[in-house]
Structure 1
Amino acid sequence: MTRDLRLCLVGDSFTAGVGDETGAGWVGPVLAALRADGTDVTGYPLGIRRETSLDIARRWYPEVRARLRDGTDHRVVFSLGANDVSAPAGRRRVPQERTLEVVAGMLDEAHAAGWPAFVTGPPPGADAGWTDRALALSAAMAEVAASRAVPFADLAGPLAGDPAWAEAVRAGDGVHPDARGYRLLTDVVLPPLRAWLT
């Protein structure tokens, strides 16, 4: 039987490509690269702006189930955490311990459904506080994923000290990068995702 991959990419505004004037974000280029590899993939971007892990946990399962009716290979990418580490009122929106509980629960649900999962952490921000929180959460999320043999892509670590990322975020809205920043995200996500799929 020919492989027919259905890939749901669940997340927040970064998954939706907010700020990218081309509209592609990182999801579009990743899917295009996979197709160029010869992978027959149908991708479903399921990003919603301002959603925390708690919001995503409430909606992800029925949305994914509705899209994984067909195909021969069903998988889920969880890309979250940016809104958890956001602290608009001086306090992060979701405590790190709670985020980790939510991520673990979603991975367990995906496993029970027979859907292999892949996780990315939050990208760094324009200010040091955001970036520090993103780095800490990303490291902890990587441990949760590893404990379940789920591949993880750290976005914060590779981009935190990259002046091109900082410039792309400044050129965007101060949180989301412009198209140049999304190309950097694509460069970080694609290699481990490609390895996971092949």
Structure 2
Amino acid sequence: MAEGVTGHRICCFGDSLVNGVRDSEKGGWPMRLGRRLLDEAKRETTIYNLGIRAETSEGLKTRWKFEAELRMVAEFPTILMFSFGVNDANHAEDRGEETTMRVSPAKSAANAVDIIGEASKLAPTLWIGPQAVIDGSKSSREINERLEGLNQIYAETARGFDVPYLDLHATTLADQDWQRALRRGDGYHPDRAGYDRVAELIWNWDGWKRAIGL
């Protein structure tokens, strides 16, 4: 194989769907992007998987900048990637027929403004929208309805900061491959095929291609 070309440092922030929970390859979509960059583009890119299971936008807001700056060096261009929202939309309290979100839509929107606004000043930033949970029970349908609302807020926020946004909610809600992967997982996290699918969608996205120079 020809000698690899040294590429970007890419910091991937988010929750368990970034981290790769239920992925038998133990790397989620960030690992798959790094592997394709090396195998197909001959880029020795450094991928940092900075996903934390169960983290909401509240937790992410407090840590991402510190962790990003630790990994940024002048010699290599940095790309910041974010994907969050499912834990914000998840159930915090159950009161019979009513449940509350872990993070309210207003607070999630404010956190997104803080995170993406600051990130876009620091380095080129990409935002991967939240993926749908399994389309099944009343509980999961409620989470997907909340995610649809957050997704609209996030997309509008991204436009305001001129940050590329990959809208995945409607795609993954309707995509039978993703839904089957969720059934083989736990309804929130897919098996390896689901992470393959998200990585493919990101790889073919113009926002990714422009940022990485493919």
The TM-score, its normalising length taken from structure 1, stands at 0.92
Tell me by how many angstroms 1:88 deviates.
4.6
Give the partner amino acid of 2:121.
Answer: A
Q: Distance in 1 between matches of 2:20 and 2:49?
A: 10
* Corresponding residue for residue 153 of structure 1: 166
Q: Distance in 1 between matches of 2:103 and 2:142?
A: 15
Q: Is the CA contact (8 Å cut-off) linking 1:11 and 1:79 kept in structure 2? A: yes
Higher percent of residues as strand: 2
Larger Rg: 2
* Corresponding residue for residue 48 of structure 1: 52
Tell me by how many angstroms 1:69 deviates.
2.4
Unaligned runs of 5+ in 1: none
* Corresponding residue for residue 179 of structure 1: 192
Map 1:3-152; keep pairs closer than 5 Å. Answer: 4-35=7-38, 36-89=40-93, 90-113=99-122, 115-126=123-134, 127-152=140-165
Unaligned runs of 5+ in 2: 94-98, 135-139
Equivalent position SS for 1:91: strand
The TM-score, its normalising length taken from structure 2, stands at 0.85
Equivalent position SS for 1:131: helix
Give the partner amino acid of 1:86.
Answer: N
Give the partner amino acid of 1:8.
Answer: C
Equivalent position SS for 2:28: coil
Tell me by how many angstroms 1:166 deviates.
1.5
Larger mean Cα displacement after TM superposition, 22-31 or 176-185? 22-31
Distance 1:88 1:110, change over 3 A: closer
Q: Is the CA contact (8 Å cut-off) linking 1:79 and 1:119 kept in structure 2? A: yes
**Structure 1 vs Structure 2 CA RMSD:** 1.6
Q: How many residues align?
A: 196
Give the partner amino acid of 1:125.
Answer: V
Larger mean Cα displacement after TM superposition, 142-151 or 165-174? 165-174
Equivalent position SS for 2:127: strand
Q: Write out per-residue CA displacement over residues 35-90 of structure 1, whole angstroms, 9 at most, x where no aligned residue.
A: 22233411111000000001001011111100112533112001111101111522
Tell me by how many angstroms 1:121 deviates.
1.6
